[in-house]
């Protein structure tokens, strides 16, 4: 069975009957979760920033791929759905979800993997660099940053996604140029090890996978 169909089936199962979760069931058809899951080393601890309704952590946990996952999001209804989904899993205690804005204090601890999936374009431009730098500072030495956002080019794909967010999130989004994000990541001392791009329907995706391999990478200067 193709990976996308498998993710859709898992999503349909773990969100079954949870009010307001229709988008979670369809999201695997427009977001390359199989590609993203492959970037998470097995048995990692994962922080998912802007986790929405918890779909990525739910897919990782349902596949038995992670030791633990913590997601936070500024949307209270999304976190309520994530918590409902979590309780459906065979090992619910592996996941936790917190209602929190990224501008507030972040959850304690550091993580093997920190993910920012389709969050950056929802953040005001002045907050985009601090967002990625704070995410990087939550990585353990040797940890992995998984960043994904929607393409700015070609313009028609960027516009299709802009319309999506105008309709669903009622928000005028702000694309961060991928080269700019890559330079922020490198500036924090990480090495970009993988940068795939792909399209699903009219949505274009760009991904950066980076490792904090250098000593002190990601830590603010003392
Ligand atoms: C397109 S959704 C992606 C959700 C999830 N990452 C996924 O891929 O399924 C963007 C999410 O970012 C969240 N978000 C936007 N700004 C945020 C902020 N400042 N702090 C925390 N979450 C934020 C929104 O509430 C929304 O759930």
Per residue in 83-94, pLDDT (tens digit) is 999 999 999 999
Portion of the chain with pLDDT greater than 70, in percent: 98
Categorise residue 99: left if φ over 0, alpha if ψ from -120 to 50, beta otherwise.
beta
What is the share, in percent, of the chain residues with pLDDT greater than 90?
93
CA dihedral 72, 76, 79, 83 (to 10 degrees): 130
pLDDT digits (tens, 9 = 90+) for 15-70: 999 999 999 999 999 999 999 999 999 999 999 999 999 999 999 999 999 999 99
* Measured distance CA(192)–CA(181) in Å, rounded: 11
Query: Dihedral through CA 38, CA 42, CA 45, CA 47, nearest 10?
Result: 10
| Ligand 1 proximal residues by C-beta, below 6 Å | 27, 50-52, 55-56, 73-75, 78, 101-103, 117-119, 122-123
Tokens 């090890």 appear where?
193
Q: To test the ligand 1 pocket, which listed residue (14, 52, 54) has its Cβ within 8 A of the most ligand atoms?
A: 52
Calculate how far, in angstroms, residue 50's C-alpha sits from the geometric centre of ligand 1.
4
At residue 211, the pLDDT reads: 98
Which CATH architecture best describes the domain 3-211?
Answer: 3-Layer(aba) Sandwich (3.40)
pLDDT of residue 191: 98
Q: What are the extents of the domains in the chain?
A: 3-211
**Residue 138 confidence class, pLDDT cut points 50, 70, 90:** very high
Give the residue, by CA position, lying nearest to ligand 1 atom 8.
117
* Interval between CA 182 and ligand 1 midpoint (Å): 20
Give me the chain's average pLDDT, please: 96
**215 C-alpha to center of ligand 1: Å?**
30
With a cut of 90, say whether residue 112 has pLDDT above it.
yes
What pTM does this model have?
0.97
Reply yes or no on whether the pLDDT at 222 is more than 60: no
């Amino acid at each position: 069975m193709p990976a996308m169909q498998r993710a859709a089936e898992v999503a349909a199962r773990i969100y079954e009957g949870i009010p307001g979760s229709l988008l979670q069931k369809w999201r695997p058809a427009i977001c390359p979760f199989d590609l993203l899951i492959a970037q998470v080393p097995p048995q990692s601890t994962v922080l998912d920033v802007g986790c929405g309704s918890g779909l990525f952590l739910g897919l990782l946990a349902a596949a038995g791929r992670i030791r633990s996952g913590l997601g936070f999001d500024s949307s209270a209804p999304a976190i309520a759905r994530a918590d409902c989904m979590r309780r459906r899993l065979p090992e619910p205690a592996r996941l936790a979800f917190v209602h929190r804005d990224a501008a507030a204090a972040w959850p304690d601890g550091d993580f093997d993997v920190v993910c920012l999936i389709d969050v950056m374009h929802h953040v005001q431009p002045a907050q985009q660099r601090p967002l990625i730098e704070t995410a990087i500072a939550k990585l353990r030495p040797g940890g992995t940053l998984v960043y994904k956002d929607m393409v700015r080019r070609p313009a028609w794909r960027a516009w299709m996604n802009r319309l999506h967010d105008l309709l669903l999130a009622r928000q005028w989004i702000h694309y961060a140029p991928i080269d700019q994000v890559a330079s922020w990541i490198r500036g924090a001392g990480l090495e970009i090890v993988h940068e795939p791009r792909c399209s699903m329907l009219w949505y274009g995706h760009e991904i950066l996978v980076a490792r904090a391999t250098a000593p002190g990478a990601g830590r603010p200067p003392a």
